[in-house]
Amino acid sequence: MKHLKQTFLKRKDSETDGGPIPNEEATSTEQECWWMYVKPVFEALLAQTNEEFIAENVRIHEKKLNSSILEITMEELLNYWCICLSFGLNRQPSKTVYWANPDNSDGILGNDFVQSTMGRRKFGLINRFLSIDEATLKKETNESSKKHWNLGQWNSADDDLDKWKGMGQKIKIQKKEAKTGLLCWKIVDQNKYVWHIFYTQDFEWEAGDGEDKISMLYLKELEASLPPGYFIIVADAGTLSSLEAANFLFSKDRLFLLSCAGNRPSALWSYLQRNLDPFQ
């Protein structure tokens, strides 16, 4: 976070390495710098989680109870998020182990940070009802990026499976690390900052549409998110790379690198050699 704050204060717009846009809001603490980025997402996450939480309690009790009993607070949501981060730093065989009594295991089990931050029951409730729709997540993430970030010169265009077990449309892809989550496409710059994101369900196509046609829809969405100028698109997903994709990016005066799958025809390479500028 220290590096993040320094970049906020010192960066010039003319630099091509990308970074945060200087902002007076970022001159105080590192935590406030971070909160400026993620606040809209967390506010939407809290609102939609509480909708699910309250609706379930109303259904069970057949009447609305006191809202102070039903609602999850922003502080609790942030505590939940911190605990989830700690899970990655201190791996245990199951979530319940973090709340185990260390006295019963000679200090091997249990985690003081987790136990002092939130009770197991409250964590379980938030985990059960955690919810945000893909459209809201896409909107808030993309708006925050365009407002607070200067895009780096090198940009990866690739798909990703965001780990998610809450409400919403989830898919399972065994070869992905997350296994279960939301399939999305992203533009991520050289600083590993997500500049643009969208989900596959944002698009409609007919049953007969082939992979190439669908991939071109994704590529056009990603390309349109980039500002004009000297930005390089690296298509890391082979499905985005084709002769049509090369012609499209060339027509947009984009610099690009295509990572083609092995099933692409060899004619593609000879065409590129004959017709495209070697610097494209």
**At 225, is the secondary structure helix, strand, or coil?**
helix
Specify the pLDDT at position 88: 85
Query: Considering only CA atoms, which of 187, 148, 180, 139 is closest in space to residue 161?
Result: 180
Phi, psi of 194 (to 5 degrees): -75, 110
Q: What tens digit of pLDDT does each residue of 64-92 get?
A: 554 445 688 999 999 999 999 999 888 88
In the numeric block, which tokens belong to residue 183? 């399939």
Q: Distances from the Cα of 20 to the Cαs of 17, 152, 153, 277, in angstroms? A: 11, 10, 14, 33
Specify the pLDDT at position 8: 40
DSSP for 29-54, written as a single string:
-HHHHHHHHHHHHHHHHHHHHHHHHH
In the numeric block, which tokens belong to residue 226? 């980039």
Give the separation between CA 161 and CA 173, rounded to whole angstroms.
Answer: 8
Specify the pLDDT at position 242: 82
Question: Whats the size of the chain, residue-wise?
Answer: 280
Which amino acid is located at 176 in the chain?
K
Q: Name residues of the chain where pLDDT drops below 50.
A: 1-14, 66-68
Contact 187, 156 (CB under 8 A): yes
Q: What tens digit of pLDDT does each residue of 255-279 get?
A: 888 886 655 556 666 666 676 665 5
Specify the pLDDT at position 229: 84
Give the separation between CA 248 and CA 152, rounded to whole angstroms.
Answer: 22
Specify the pLDDT at position 4: 41
Q: Which helix H or strand E contains 20, and what residues bound it?
A: strand 19-20
Pairing of strands 149-150, 154-163: unpaired
Specify the pLDDT at position 178: 60
